[in-house]
Amino acid sequence: MAKKREISLVRSSAAEYLTFVAASGRGGVEAVYADENVWLTQKMMGVLYDVQTHTINYHLKKVFSDSELQEDAVIRKFRITAADRKSYDTQHYSLAAIIAVGYKVNSERAVQFRKWVTGIVEEYAVKGYTMDDERLKNGGSVLTEQYFEEQLQRVREIRLSERKFYQKVTDIYATSIDYDVTAQATQRFFAMVQNKLHWAIHGQTAAEVIYNRADAEKDDMGLTTWKDAPKGKIQKFDVAVAKNYLTEDEMAQLTRLVSAYLDVAEDMALRKIPMTMQDWETRLNRFLAATDRDILQDAGKVSAEIAKAHAESEFERYRIVQDRLFESDFDRALQQLGATALVSDGDKRERTHAVHVLAKPHKKPVARNKGKDKGNKE
């Protein structure tokens, strides 16, 4: 079996992705490094930019028809083994063609790639040179043993952190090798992850839980926990947190679910499998499906704004009841002092009575003369 070529490129969303796809052979294709150049098939470019192969073909034809590149200068055939285990001479396209297509494709990954290229060009225009400091520090490679060791440490740190359950999942997402906080994919994932986890446990989004369970007529307004629970007052900010309405069993399920997902992340790092943003999004859905959980397909029927408004409205009603029934630490202390005072007063009265009895003069009983009778004369 031929040894897979390992290539090393400047770190970026698409370039980093190209590195590990080539190293792991994902998608059944390989990048070829030859003559100090990187060569990809159309299929591989489709994987790189997250689009269909026919889209790559369309843009390549446009590049050549516009004379942006000379076709024979950027195409070279390399023999590759297909799925049927037969070898075929297949057209590959050089880095110049890869970059040219990257400027034409309309996808989130292509946008990230263009940002990276623009940064390289700007640095070159200002300095007259560009340097990949990160790769030079790592001896010419980005995906080193140290990279995966650090990745493993990050996953374990996330597990031990006191972050909220859904924040731990987003923290794992942020370890993606192509992570970009401004990417639409990131915003979409962050917006959906909390709802996906809630839905998997009880079939409602976070907003739906708040809307359906916040009730001024219920004990504690339907909350099972809050910031100052169990004896402190429920505050307005407590009622807009979906987790505060979950039952003990639902919270236990949620904790186990997130812990199992972190196990997956740790396993990926141990096996030295780099993950992209798209990988983590897909992996979350597969993970939920594998555990027989329902997967949320939309944003739910209740918006976060409506849920919050409803909960706060219920809180204003509940506040009146809470103020009437609430016992603060001061109230409890006062009651305790009052009970102690009553006991003390009772003891005092008993002691006073005892002293009074002891201090009272003692009268001798008068003996009656039985031998005399009034008016009786001898």
Residue 134 vs residue 110, higher pLDDT: 110
Q: Give the per-residue pLDDT at 182.
A: 80
What's the rounded mean pLDDT across residues 281-286?
Answer: 90
- Judge whether residue 1 has pLDDT over 80: no
What pLDDT, on the 0 to 100 scale, is given for residue 277? 82
pLDDT of res. 355? 39
pLDDT in tens, 338-358: 666 554 555 555 544 443 444
What are the residue boundaries of the structural domains of the chain, listed by start? 13-138, 145-325
CB–CB of 115/181 below 8 Å?
Answer: no
**Strands 32-34 and 37-39, sheet pairing:** antiparallel
> What pLDDT, on a 0 to 100 scale, did the predictor assign at position 124?
54
Q: Considering only residues 70 and 108, tell me which one the structure prediction assigns the higher pLDDT.
A: 70
Estimate to the nearest angstrom the gap between the alpha carbon of 264 and the chain centroid.
14
Rounded Cα gap, residues 70 and 163, in angstroms: 54
pLDDT of residue 128: 57
Q: Name 29's bridge partners.
A: none
Q: What pLDDT is recorded for position 345?
A: 56
The rounded distance, in Å, linking the Cα atoms of 302 and 211 is 8
Mean of the pLDDT values across residues 171-180? 84
pLDDT confidence of residue 115: 78
Q: What is the dihedral of CA 368, 372, 376, 377, to 10 degrees?
A: -150
Q: Mention every residue, 6+ apart, whose C-beta is less than 8 A from residue 143.
A: 16, 19, 20, 23, 177, 272, 274
Average pLDDT over residues 134-140: 45
- pLDDT tens-digit profile of 176-229? 877 878 878 888 888 899 999 999 999 999 999 999 999 999 999 999 999 999
pLDDT digits (tens, 9 = 90+) for 217-237: 999 999 999 999 988 999 999
| Residue 366 reports pLDDT greater than 50 | no
Place of tokens 């909390």: 194
pLDDT at 268: 87
Q: What does residue 37 show for φ and ψ, rounded to 5 degrees?
A: -145, 160
> Which of 237, 212, 239, 207 lies closest to 224 in space, CA to CA?
239
Q: Report how far residue 340's alpha carbon sits from residue 338's, in angstroms, rounded to the nearest whole number.
A: 5
Burial class (CB in 10 A: 0-12, 13-18, 19+), 23: buried
Please write the tens of the pLDDT for every residue from 284-325.
999 999 999 999 988 889 999 999 999 999 999 999 999 888
The segment with the largest mean pLDDT, out of 106-120, 142-156, 272-286, is 272-286
Give residue-wise pLDDT tens across range 6-50. 433 333 444 454 544 444 444 444 677 777 777 888 988 888 888
CB 280 within 8 A of CB 180: no
**Are the beta carbons of 195 and 296 closer than 8 angstroms?**
yes
The H-assigned helical ranges of the chain are 13-24, 42-49, 53-65, 71-74, 95-102, 108-127, 133-137, 145-160, 165-173, 184-202, 206-213, 248-270, 277-290, 304-325, 329-359
The whole-number average pLDDT for the span 74-103 is 86
Give 54-79 as a DSSP string.
HHHHHHHHHHHHTTSS-HHHHEEEEE
